[in-house]
Structure 1
Amino acid sequence: MPQKRRSRSWMELKQVGNDCFKKGQYGEAADLYSQAIKELEKTGKMNPEDLSILYSNRAASYLKDGNCGECIKDCNVSLELVPFGVKSLLRRAAAYEALERYRLAYIDYKTALQVDCNIPAAHDGTNRMTKVLTEVDGLSWREKLPPIPTVSLAVKERLAQQAAGNTKPPAQQHNGSRQTHGSAPSAQNIKKGQILKEEGNALVKKGEHQKAIEKYSQSLKHNPTEVTAYTNRALCYLSLKQYKEVIRDCDNALAIDSSSVKALYRRAQAHKELKDTKTCIEDLNSLLKVEPKNTAALKLLQEVQKKK
């Protein structure tokens, strides 16, 4: 008699699905993830994180195949199981963007940046949506957005711990400490970051902007949540006419503090130099909502509007 074929576990099905995805076989990958979901549900010992990953993986397969509706449905389930999962947020944002649901895409990109402010895809997506929404809704586009969820520090720490459990341990730093990407910095790292930032400030006063950038970069390795290190480094980049770097640093600062006046002003200056008048004006208007009598912003706004 032929031997009965052993049914594959959900973990085996997930692995084969991952292999298919890497080969570009997205339809097959989606089928395998569907089987894995059924097998995991059969066990009756469902871990929300495991199930969330399977739905998120299947969402990625649907997205690659252009099935944006199913991608969004799976991301919704994944995010119900594990709120603020970055991969699901980014996949749902990409699907919304493809369906021209730009406001919802913007919300997801911005939410992902609250979890981890160092995600290039989220920064790029936010910038694209900002430009599109400005064209569609004018300068008041922010008023038409749904509320952006607030990601608490406790949630960020939990997600960072989960990520650390699913990946290799973070690399040992030269000072012997370990820093988990996206986690809250230790008191020791905050102190070291502050010292390096102050050293950067001293170099700025001497006009040594390149050396100051190096100090701020070292500071941010110790404490990536320090807004002023980003805005101070942005000021140095402005002096060196490295405008894209200015925008990147201001984006990072604003992901941490959306009302940072310095970040909005310096990003506006960079957009002005890059001839992106619309975005420059938008940043200045956002700044003036925070500080209506900011003379530097009012002066720059008047200057830019004259050139339109």
Structure 2
Amino acid sequence: AAGEPWAEPLSRLCPGAGDAAAEERSVLLANRAACHLKDGACRLCVADCSGALELVPFGIKPLLRRAAAYEALERYGLAYVDYKTVLQVDCAVQAAHDGVNRMTKALLEKDGVNWRQKLPPIPTVPVSAQTRWSVPSAGAPGANTPPATAPRGEPGESTAAGTERARTLKEEGNELVKKGNHKKAVEKYSESLQLNQECATYTNRALCYLALKQYKEAVQDCTEALRLDPKNVKALYRRAQALKELKDYKSSIADIKSLLKTEPKNTAALRLLQELNRA
């Protein structure tokens, strides 16, 4: 890529800019990574993003670009971790929500229902990093503080407002389910989950997906619910229902048996187990 207009200045600036601020070099590496990604040079993109993140941890742009490169390299577990990390920094990044959904489907198909057990650990983003990325910094002095152009309020404030809005959206979804409008309810639950990942919202959306015969999505939502609450009876039952429809009888039976450890006399579960044993 020697002929590329960006290659020469960056190759000079990045390695040898000892006096430049770490933040500035991080931005340069992230920008070069974007060029590598565009050219399909995914491994070079990963290397530059990792370099940018070593200099300034939890930058949204290098995380998203590295996730996209991992996705192109079919390293779905690593892509999932980066997309999830972005959502810890800023839960409103739609590209990261979309990426998580794509990776969940890919990993579910590749590794089955226990795909989470094979994931590398997801780093915990410190609160200090959760407020600093409201506007991409160009390495200006004082870039560690959120720019005045994009005030985000106190972290607690926005979280409380988001949680309240999420609850309202979930209740609107519940009302739509009562009316039998599962498709519209899915939209409400999806909006709610973008603001607050709650176990009950996942199991409610899974119920809608079952009604809409979208069984893979139902499995995915129940798996998310069980990550939040490993013994959740509704999540185990609904995932077992979805797995039965997908003809994955072995996994379905395993879920029902887990459920029955918590509720041995659950009649719906016992009935489903009888059906599965006949299947």
Q: Is TM > 0.5 for Structure 1 vs Structure 2?
A: yes
Unaligned runs of 5+ in 1: 1-24, 170-177
TM-score (norm 2): 0.62
Match of residue 106 from structure 2: 128
Secondary structure at the residue paired with 1:201?
A: helix
Quick one: structure 1 residues 187 and 28, their matched pair in 2 at CA, closer, same or farther if it must change by over 3 Å? same
Deviation at 1:128, TM superposition (A): 1.6
Quick one: structure 1 residues 215 and 67, their matched pair in 2 at CA, closer, same or farther if it must change by over 3 Å? closer
Q: Choose from 39, 57, 64 the match for 1:83.
A: 57
Match of residue 173 from structure 1: none
* 1:130-279 → structure 2 map (5 Å cutoff): 130-134=108-112, 142-159=116-133, 161-162=134-135, 185-205=158-178, 207=180, 209=182, 212-213=185-186, 216=189, 220=192, 224-227=195-198, 228-243=200-215, 246=218, 250=221, 257=228, 259=230, 261=232, 262=234, 266=238, 269-270=241-242, 272-273=244-245, 275=246, 277=248
Aligned: 1:51 with 2:41 = no
TM-score (norm 1): 0.57
- Higher relative contact order, structure no. (Cα contacts within 8 Å, ≥ 6 residues apart): 2
Match of residue 28 from structure 1: 4
Deviation at 1:79, TM superposition (A): 1.4
Q: Give the counterpart letter for 2:46 in structure 1.
A: I
What whole-Å deviation, never above 9, does each CA across 1:32-90 have from its counterpart, x for those lacking one? 56158449937x45261x43232122223323444343222212111112323344334
| Aligned alpha-carbon RMSD (Å) | 5.0
- Would you say the 8 A contact 1:225–1:256 is kept in 2? no
What whole-Å deviation, never above 9, does each CA across 1:126-174 have from its counterpart, x for those lacking one? 332343344xxxx766545433322345533333x245979x97xxxxx
Paired with 1:163 and 1:287, the residues of 2 have a C-alpha distance of 48
Paired with 1:95 and 1:155, the residues of 2 have a C-alpha distance of 23
Match of residue 251 from structure 2: 281
- Would you say the 8 A contact 2:177–2:208 is kept in 1? yes
* 1:63-74 → structure 2 map (5 Å cutoff): 63-74=37-48
Quick one: structure 1 residues 81 and 101, their matched pair in 2 at CA, closer, same or farther if it must change by over 3 Å? same
Quick one: structure 1 residues 243 and 38, their matched pair in 2 at CA, closer, same or farther if it must change by over 3 Å? same
Paired with 1:272 and 1:60, the residues of 2 have a C-alpha distance of 43
Q: Give the counterpart letter for 1:191 in structure 2.
A: E
Unaligned runs of 5+ in 2: 138-145
